[in-house]
Amino acid sequence: MADAPQIPDEAETRARWGAFAWTPDNAKEAQRHIDKYPAGRQASAVMPLLDLAQRQVGAETDTQGWLPIPVIEYVAAQLDMPKMRVIEVVSFYTMYNMAPVGKFHIQVCGTTPCMLRGSDDVLAACYAKGMKKGATTPDGLFTLTEVECLGACANAPMVQINDDNYEDLTEASMASILDDLAAGRQPVIGSQIGRRTSEQVGGPSTLKDMKKENHDYRGEWA
Amino acid sequence: MPNVTVDGIPIAVPDGATVLQACELAGKEIPRFCYHERLSIAGNCRMCLVEVKPGPPKPQASCALPATEGQEIRTDTPMVKHAREGVMEFLLINHPLDCPICDQGGECDLQDQSIAYGRGHSRYDANKRAVTEKYMGPIVKTVMTRCIQCTRCIRFAEEVAGVEDIGALYRGEDMQITTYLEHAIQSELAGNVVDLCPVGALTSKPYAFEARPWELKKTLAIDVMDGVGSNIRLDSRGRQVLRVLPRINEDVNEEWAHDKTRHHVDGLVRRRLDKPFVRQGGKLVAASWDEAFAAIAKVARSAKGSVAAIAGDQVDCETMFAAKSLVKALGSDMLEGRQTGLAYDVSNLGAVNFNSTIAGVEDADAILLIGSNLRWEAPLINTRVRKAIKRGARVFGIGPEVDLTYAVEWFGNDASLIAKLPKAATDAFKDAKRPMVIVGGGALKLDGVQGAAMGLIKTLKLVSEGWNGFNVVHTSASRMGGLMLGFAQTGGIADIVAAKPRLAFFLGADEVDYSGFEGSFKVYIGHHGDAGAHAADVVLPGASYAEKHGTWVNTEGRVQYSDKAVFAPGDAREDWSILRALADACGVDVGFDSFDGLRAAMITAVPALGREGLAGYDFSAPKLDAKAQMKLGGEIAYPIADFYLTNAICRASPTMQRCSSEILHGDEMLEAAE
Ligand code: SF4
Ligand code: FES
Ligand code: FES
């Protein structure tokens, strides 16, 4: 429970975010999400709207964005949902931030496959840059969170930084990613050892014929 | 009707029954935490595991599994035993061992079921999870480390109370139940989550650390906080009622009670009248019973029949009958129970009754509320309307717009709308098979509303074979009993004011406008030092509903009996004996000498009061003065301004005052603080 997010002081967030409203573009985008669902079922749009709101807050604060209470209530009002139901969604999913984060939100996967493949090294690289779990660095650049499996275990260990995954990490490659980000450069997204998606390391070893055509292997089955 | 066997017992169960219900029908106890027959099924505690064939060879959650033809259900196999032990052990991993300091102790499902189905020891020595307490308002105290995440409280708030204030934040092991930003639950039904919570996570704040359940004397009683007549149990120790719990009565309150019912009890021991008072030189001075009686007898002798009695909202039939007998013996029949000045026609009791019955509300398919803030006037009828809506009913309203926890199509606040209903309503009612009109007692104050509402019986076809959808909801527990006993003048209390009685008895009447009785010698017989006692010339301390046996008739005409839980404080006596002694002092005969004699005389006079259950009034719309209807129109005002402070007991209760200021006036308080 100790690392459950501390929701920031209500009065302060209300003063800062009480006047939150969609930008014209986001208003359109929000409506597009709502229109996907039949009338009366607009609550189904709660997740994309929260994401949109978090991004808008992010754009305004030059961070990954978070969801202050008035913003959550703004979404609730738009979808005609009880506030409690919306904050439940926000608190359930780790990708919604209930407290402010830095410009880069480093989510290190620490679940078993990643852990066996060296997530401790990845964390070490983060610690070396002065990060602490659940905290933002003083320069406002990085927030470190340890999360459970992000579904890229084949490329373990991995981190998710804002919208991108960085995979097949070592302590060194993680350090260089962080350096790049800090310097405003875009690091290579995805595998850091040059493999394509989650293909086998060293390239494909089976079903190679599939590369050229939709090869029918059935005749070769013994 | 699927046929199943439970532990080898063949049994046919109703369609749509679950395996858990099938087991119960077969007489097998199934332990459970999350399942509750009045809430939706969550299936998240896993305590109800049983073995079912055909099906996968593993234990199944019986609460969420439909019973189907040919199922073989076993609740007595080693697999089931192990499964229950396992679930119990999981639940206890994080549950604190603080039973000695937990208010739920002795009536805790977790305690009981771990004794019955648990292993008896623990294999865990790791640290337990701890959760911070959550603020939920003046009624509900939380110790959230004890929560087992059954979500009953969430489902109750959403489904029954209609207030989606409670929810679960975070997930997995971190899951925490809380109200939105820890605000007070904005519901008059909040106290029910205390009963629903199977562990000690939600307990009663006003009752915290007061008593253990086994020290309490349990008395069956009837609630007098509103006209619904909820069946309650008074738990008392020594001379004090410590808490009120609802009893199950499917026809009245199901198994709920609202917070006023539950928590007015601390008002029963405060501001009580415990000795007689006589006004001397403008001041009330403590007196002996004899002095008080002598003062009254002196006036009674010279009054020459100019005597009246006015009953308040929490007076039992026996007291009213005794007062009626006394007034009659003194040569008068001026009786009135509608203390706030209502004067509707009562020539036919069916026409001012809740005819569909409370349970019948669930069957309605179109409901028109006329000047009734049902949520405050009868919260447990309001929950029935919510059920009707779930079954597809539409609700319309005439009156000031209020939040009734469900969608109401409001037409506006103008009584003339009753006579010319908007098309939306007439269309909806045309197709309705069970149309219903609910008239708030307060709305009958306006001229012509009664007549216009009764006009709807015909135009909306409210009465048909086996259905009577014309309902009046009263807010006073003594209303229907009073009307049956003749506590009504044609012109209401105004008639009595106009008659300028020399002597007037006020039976717990605190809402009367006493300025009309300046010339009368006012005798207040009641239990609390409230408005009535302040205005009186003689105050006689009586017993509250908890301190006497009594007959009560609820707003649907249901006769119910309530028992005496404790003794009245100090010199206070049961009201009937006061009136009986007063008759002696005045030298008249009222025809009874004991409570049983009084009850027998009352039943002879009004036989319906002798039968528990619906009084069953004949129903026929009375002929009303057509002139009044001409004046139909104007704004309707709801009779209740503050739900938590509607009577003298509540006004004396610190808990109710706190509820009022925090829940109803919370916003104002915040603004004032800023
Ligand atoms: S607080 Fe009580 S009722 Fe609510 S989820 Fe926890 S155990 Fe269940
Ligand atoms: S374990 Fe790290 S992505 Fe699955
Ligand atoms: S009672 Fe069946 S899962 Fe809880």
Mean pLDDT for B499-518 is 94
State the smallest CA–CA distance between residue A4 and chain B in angstroms.
8
- Residue A126 annotated in ligand binding: no
In Å, how far are B4, B59, B73, B82, B360 from B77, measured between CA atoms?
17, 10, 10, 9, 43
Q: What's the Cα-to-Cα distance from B100 to each of B108, B160, B205, rounded to whole Å? A: 12, 32, 17
Domain B3-93 indexed as CATH 3.10.20.740: yes
Q: Measured from the CB, is residue B150 less than 6 Å from ligand 1?
A: yes
Q: State which of B136, B175, B199, B205 you would mutate to test the pocket of ligand 1, scoring each by most atoms of that ligand within 8 A of its C-beta.
A: B199
A82 vs B129, B164, B171: nearest CB: B164
pLDDT of residue B625: 66
Distance in Å, alpha carbon of A85 to nearest chain B alpha carbon: 7
d(CA B469, CA B436): 4
Nearest C-alpha to atom 2 of ligand 1 is from which residue?
Answer: B197
Query: Whole-angstrom Cα distance, residue B102 to residue B201?
Result: 9
- Is B179 within 8 Å of A84 when comparing Cβ atoms? yes
Helix locations, chain A, DSSP H:
10-17, 24-35, 46-61, 69-79, 83-92, 112-116, 119-128, 171-182
Ligand showing the shortest atom-to-Cα distance for residue B32:
3
**Which residues, 6 or more positions from B669, have their beta carbon under 8 angstroms from its beta carbon?**
B661, B662
For residues B213 and B211, what is the distance between their CA atoms, to the nearest angstrom? 6
Q: Which ligand is nearest to the Cα of residue A169, counting in written order?
A: 2
Mutation pick from A88, A93, A146 vs chain B, by most beta carbons of B within 10 Å, is A88
Question: Could you write out the three-class secondary structure of B289-309?
Answer: HHHHHHHHHHHHHHHCCCEEE
As to burial, measured by CB atoms within 10 angstroms (0-12 exposed, 13-18 middle, 19+ buried), residue B90 is middle
Predicted pLDDT of residue A8: 83
pLDDT by residue (tens digit) across B401-433? 999 999 999 999 998 899 889 998 899 999 899
- Count, residues in chain B: 674
CA distance B129 to B667: 35
Find the Cα–Cα–Cα–Cα dihedral A65, A69, A72, A74, rounded to 10°. -110
A85 and B132 in contact by Cβ < 8 A?
A: no
Q: Domains of chain A, with CATH numbers?
A: 10-92 (no CATH), 104-191 (3.40.30.10)
CA A113 / ligand 2 centre spacing (Å):
6
Query: For chain A, what percent of residues have pLDDT higher than 70?
Result: 97
- Selecting from A10, A82, A88 the residue whose C-beta is nearest the C-beta of B168 gives A88
Other CB atoms within a 10 A radius of the CB of residue A162 amount to: 16
Mind listing the pLDDT tens digit for each residue in B141-161?
Answer: 999 999 999 999 999 999 999
Classify residue B169 by burial, with Cβ atoms within 10 Å: 0-12, 13-18, 19+. buried
Exposure string (b/e) for B549-576, b if CB count within 10 Å is 16 or more? bbbbbbbbbbbbbbebbbebbeebbbbb
Distance CA B476, CA B311 (A): 11
Tell me which H or E stretch contains A104.
strand A104-109
* Chain A residue with Cα closest to B167: A84
Q: How many CB atoms lie within 10 A of CB B216?
A: 19
Question: Minimal Cα distance from A82: which residue of B?
Answer: B164
Asked if B506 and B522 touch (Cβ cutoff 8 Å), the reply is yes
- From chain B, pick out residues whose CB is under 8 angstroms from the CB of A69: 181
Structure tokens, B608: 């319906």
State the pairing for strand pair B140-142/B9-12. Answer: unpaired
pLDDT at residue B317 greater than cutoff 80 = yes
Q: Å from B180 to nearest chain A CA?
A: 5
3-state secondary structure of B182: helix
- How far is B165 from chain A, CA to nearest CA, in Å? 6
Q: Which of B132, B164, B169 sits opposite A91 (nearest CB)?
A: B169
Cα–Cα distance for residue pair B358/B441, rounded to 1 Å: 16
The number of the ligand nearest the C-alpha atom of A112 reads: 2
A2 pLDDT tier (thresholds 50, 70, 90): very low
CA B173 / ligand 2 centre spacing (Å): 20
Predicted TM-score (pTM) of the model is 0.92
* Token pair for B224: 């007098």
Q: How many helices (H) and strands (E) does chain B have?
A: 21, 29
pLDDT beyond 80 at B669: no
Is B492 within 8 Å of B336 (Cβ atoms)?
yes
Mutation pick for ligand 1 pocket among B131, B144, B176, B202 (CB with most ligand atoms within 8 Å) = B202
Spatial neighbors of B652 by CB under 8 A, at least 6 apart, are: B267, B268, B270, B271, B272, B528, B530
Distances (CA, A) of B478 to B111, B228, B323, B338, B370: 41, 10, 14, 9, 22
Say if ligand 2 is within 6 A of residue A144 CB: no
In this predicted structure, what is the pLDDT of residue B670? 55
C-alpha distances (whole Å) from A167 to each of A145, A150, A201 are 16, 11, 12
Strands (E) in B208-349, as ranges, are 217-222, 231-237, 240-246, 277-280, 283-286, 307-311, 334-336
**For residue range B602-659, what is the model confidence (pLDDT) as tens digits?**
999 999 999 999 998 888 877 776 666 667 778 889 999 999 999 999 999 999 999 9
Sorted by sequence, the CB contacts under 8 Å of residue B93 that are 6+ apart come out as: B124, B126, B128
Q: Which residues of B touch A10 (CB under 8 A)?
A: 181
Residue B24 pLDDT > 60, yes or no?
A: yes
| Confidence band, pLDDT 50/70/90 cuts, at residue B67 | very high
Instruction: Please indicate whether residue B185, judged by its CB atom, sits closer than 6 Å to ligand 1.
Output: no
CATH top-level class of B277-345+478-614: alpha beta
Amino acid making up residue B606: V
For residues B433-455, average pLDDT: 89
Question: Which residues on B lie below 8 Å from A83 (Cβ)?
Answer: 180
What's domain B355-473+624-630's architecture? 3-Layer(aba) Sandwich (3.40)
- Nearest C-alpha to atom 6 of ligand 1 is from which residue? B147
- Which residues on chain A are in Cβ contact (under 8 Å) with B174? 1, 4
Tens of pLDDT, residue by residue over B278-308, are 999 999 999 999 999 999 999 999 988 999 9
Neighbours of A206 (CB within 10 A): 8
Q: Could B164 and A85 be called an inter-chain contact, meaning their C-beta atoms sit closer than 8 Å?
A: yes
Does position A206 have pLDDT exceeding 90, yes or no?
Answer: no
Where do the structural domains in chain B lie, given as residue ranges? 3-93, 124-209, 277-345+478-614, 355-473+624-630
In this predicted model, what pLDDT tens digit does every residue of A146-199 receive, in sequence order? 999 999 999 999 999 999 999 999 999 999 999 999 999 999 999 999 888 888
Residue of A nearest to B162 (CA): A82
Residue A3 has pLDDT above 60, yes or no: no
Q: Are B96 and B56 in contact (CB under 8 A)?
A: no
Q: What are phi and psi of A206, to 5 degrees?
A: -130, 165
- Give which of B175, B105, B183, B180 is closest to B147, Cα–Cα: B175
Q: Convert the pLDDT of each residue in A9-29 to its tens digit.
A: 888 999 999 999 999 999 999
Q: Which atom of ligand 1 is nearest to the CA of B144?
A: 1
H-helix or E-strand containing A129?
Answer: none
B124 touching A (Cβ < 8 Å): no
Cα B429 to averaged position of ligand 1 atoms, centre (Å):
41
Nearest CA in chain B to A4: B174
Task: Tell me what pLDDT residue A1 has.
Answer: 39
* DSSP type of residue B416: G
Cis peptide bond prior to A157, omega within 30° of 0: yes
Peptide bond just before B54 cis, omega within 30 deg: yes
- Chain A residue with CA closest to B164: the answer is A82
The answer to whether the CB of B504 is under 6 A from ligand 1 is no
Paired with B10 in beta bridges are: B5
Please report the sign of the dihedral spanned by the C-alpha atoms of residue B274, residue B275, residue B278, residue B280.
negative
Using the Cβ of B97 and the Cβ atoms of chain A, whether some distance falls under 8 Å is answered with no
Among B516, B486, B473, smallest CA distance to B639 is for B473
Residue B16, SS3 per DSSP: coil
> What is residue A94's predicted lDDT score, i.e. its pLDDT?
84
Amino acid letter, B599: R
Give, as one character, the DSSP assignment of residue B664.
Answer: I
Retrieve residue B388's tokens: 């009707």
- Res B672: pLDDT: 53
Substitution target in A79, A84, A87, A90 with the highest count of B β-carbons within 10 Å is: A84
Model confidence pLDDT, tens digit, residues B27-44: 999 999 999 999 999 999
Helix (H, G, I), strand (E, B) or coil at A193: coil
Beta carbon of A158 within 6 Å of any ligand 2 atom:
yes
A4 and B174 within 8 Å at the Cβ level: the answer is: yes
A108 C-alpha to ligand 2 centroid (Å) = 9
Helix B595-605, helix B575-586: angle, nearest 10: 90
The residue assigned the tokens 């005409």 is B557
Closest CA to B202 of B255, B143, B131, B132: B143
A119: which DSSP letter? H
Judge: A84–B165 Cβ closer than 8 Å, yes or no: yes
Query: Do B45 and B60 contact (CB within 8 A), yes or no?
Result: no
- Cβ A49 under 6 angstroms from ligand 2: no
Cα distance between residue B304 and residue B321, in whole Å: 21
Query: For B114-135, what is each residue's pLDDT tens digit?
Result: 999 999 888 888 899 999 999 9
The CATH architecture assigned to B124-209 reads: 2-Layer Sandwich (3.30)
